[in-house]
Amino acid sequence: MRAYAVVLAVLALLLGALALPGTAYADLQHPRQNFLRGSVSGLFLHWGERTAPQHTSCSGWEKDVTAGGWSPDYWVKEAGKLHAQYLVLASFHSRLGYARPWPSKIPGSCHTQRDFLGELITAAKAKGLKVILYMTDDPQWHNDGGHEWLDSDGYSRYKGRNVDLTTRDGFGEFSYDNFFEVMDRYPELGGFWIDNDNDYWLDHHLYEQIYRLRPQYTLSNNNEDMPVMDMISNEQKTGMSPSYDYPQATYTAAPRLTEADFKLPSSGAWWYDGSDPAVDRKLTLGRLITNAGSSIKALMAETAQVNGRFPAKQEAFNEFADGYLDGIWESLRGTAGGGYLHGGLAPGFWNDGAHGVTTLSTTDPNRHYVHVLTPPSTSTLRLRDNGYRVAEVTNLRTGARIPFTQSGGSLTVSGLGNWDPYDTVFKVTTAGRQGILPATSYTMSAGAAARGHPASAAADGDYLTYWDNDRTLPVSLTCDLGANRSVRYLGINQREDSVSYARSDTEQSARIKEYRVYASKDGTHWGSPVKTGTLPSHRAVSFIDLPAATTTRYVRLEVRSTYAAASDTTRYRRLRLDETWVGTRYAATVPGGGR
């Protein structure tokens, strides 16, 4: 045992010496992320010694797990019912006894003789799923529940010196060793889901070593948007309206990988506490679908019992979800969120109290889906068409053609009824976009711009670039069309790097509030604004319609204010635009469409 520890220590030192201290950023986009980018959701499994009824004996817990009939195939099957593509196993968790469900050679906390993790990886791979392992940085719960879960003496003997696992540095070293053991044992693991951070890991360049030793692994982090990670996960946000619209609480802009993790049980802990609470079907499906409509991965937590099975109400939900999602699956898998960097119809708050999201195919830009999660109070649904010429609208589940009209920049679907209680989905077939000037035909300038983020970045077709106002308000963005043209509307994609409502005094929306639009034929004389107004603090594409008689060479958008208050020092007066465009006319229905 001591010899193994020495070898491990030498290997860590060598790898640490090879690490580049300046390496602090993962690739924004990398082939190792493909399976996550192609995923809709994952199944989050909190399971360990403190799963009810609590075990204080590691061997006793393992015995009861096995005697209860634990099978990796059950978890994989239940994930399949949820139409998930990956599983996150959270057993090395600070509140669950720091249990390691594999035969570890490193003393310090519970580890099993049976290789539960290895069995799960094998079973998931057989069904095309991946397993990601949760790792914690936090020793503060070492004696939670009146029992000491960490064995400092055992780990100290293993290391040949005193190490206190109840300190952050000591626990950081212990968990650091476990990262390397897991990498050595499980080359087919999908990666690590890391709950925050530890200075010991940073000082020893842990993440750089993971990417070097296991370049196919992905790294996800809980709540902290750390650039070294492939993905940030946002833990169960609440307070939005509608309550299911989880993306309102996210603050990381695509194409950064983002994930939203939330509990399916309506009450209780993240792990099984002996209860069987209900699962709110509308809330859960709404969260899943609005996440998909924003290109956010949904990590759905269910509470596995000691034998691995889920309580009856969660099993019942899984059975329901299996058939329900089958009927609309093409609108979720292989799609991107509509109204963002990939284009698509406008999501969000529609007419007469309606709300929902849109998705579009990642392989066919003319295949769109409208998800009506909250129906309108009338039989009509109306949403912005974003310049797409609509050819056909059908009910995705039934295939029935739905009558529609298209004018004034909006798609109107009429004669509706029999709304699905969770998600009515319309498939919208289009024939390209119409009336939008190509960015190469005009130039942009701004009254202010931060270094590296010029006005031109707001109309270059590249969502990796953006215009930044350098915290200047009021501020203007001016478009020179090169010649007099008819201008009907402006389209704006603001950078989604803030929440879309004020969650607190220090977490607010950095989006446009009050604006004015001016027109000029010579770029010198502007006169009175042709349009003034207020944009709502909503995610995704926004539109400003101009009077029909607006013919001009220069169009100036003047932003008077944004939503963030001075109490939010990070976002106050900050404005960032990913892309803007000029619509010279509204799209018209494809001949023969609408019937």
Distance in angstroms (rounded) separating the CA atoms of residues 588 and 595: 14
- pTM, two decimals, is 0.94
Residue 580 token pair: 């803007």
Q: What is the pLDDT along the chain (595 residues), one digit of tens a residue?
A: 333 343 333 333 333 333 333 445 668 889 999 999 999 999 999 999 999 999 999 999 999 999 999 999 999 999 999 999 999 999 999 999 999 999 999 999 999 999 999 999 999 999 999 999 999 999 999 999 999 999 999 999 999 999 999 999 999 999 999 999 999 999 999 999 999 899 999 999 999 999 999 999 999 999 888 899 999 999 998 999 999 999 999 999 999 999 999 999 999 999 999 999 999 999 999 999 999 999 999 999 999 999 999 999 999 999 999 999 999 999 999 999 999 999 999 999 999 999 999 999 999 999 999 999 999 999 999 999 999 999 999 999 999 999 999 999 999 999 999 999 999 999 999 999 999 999 999 999 999 999 999 999 999 989 899 999 999 999 999 999 999 999 999 999 999 999 999 999 999 999 999 999 999 999 999 999 999 999 999 999 999 999 998 999 999 999 999 999 999 999 999 999 999 999 999 999 888 787 6
- Indicate the CATH number for domain 335-433: 2.60.40.1180
**What is the maximum alpha-carbon separation in the chain?**
83
Tokens 């000037």: give the residue.
437
Residue range(s) of every CATH 3.20.20.80 domain in the chain: 2-326
Yes or no: say if 373 and 410 are a contact pair by the CB < 8 Å rule.
no
3-state SS, residue 322:
helix
Residue range(s) of every CATH 2.60.40.1180 domain in the chain: 335-433
Residue 88 token pair: 């996150």
- Taken in order 424, 426, 427, 432, the sign of the CA dihedral is negative
Yes or no: say if 212 and 183 are a contact pair by the CB < 8 Å rule.
no
Tokens 């008689």: give the residue.
549
Q: Which helix (H) or strand (E) holds 3?
A: helix 2-18
Distance in angstroms (rounded) separating the CA atoms of residues 248 and 237: 9
Yes or no: say if 541 and 495 are a contact pair by the CB < 8 Å rule.
no
- Indicate the CATH number for domain 439-583: 2.60.120.260
CATH code matching the domain that covers 2-326, chosen among 3.20.20.80, 3.30.420.40, 2.60.40.420, 3.40.50.720: 3.20.20.80
Distance in angstroms (rounded) separating the CA atoms of residues 582 and 319: 47
Instruction: Assign 3-class secondary structure to 534-580.
Output: ECCCCCCCEEEECCCCCEEEEEEEEECCECCCCCCCCCCCCCEEEEE
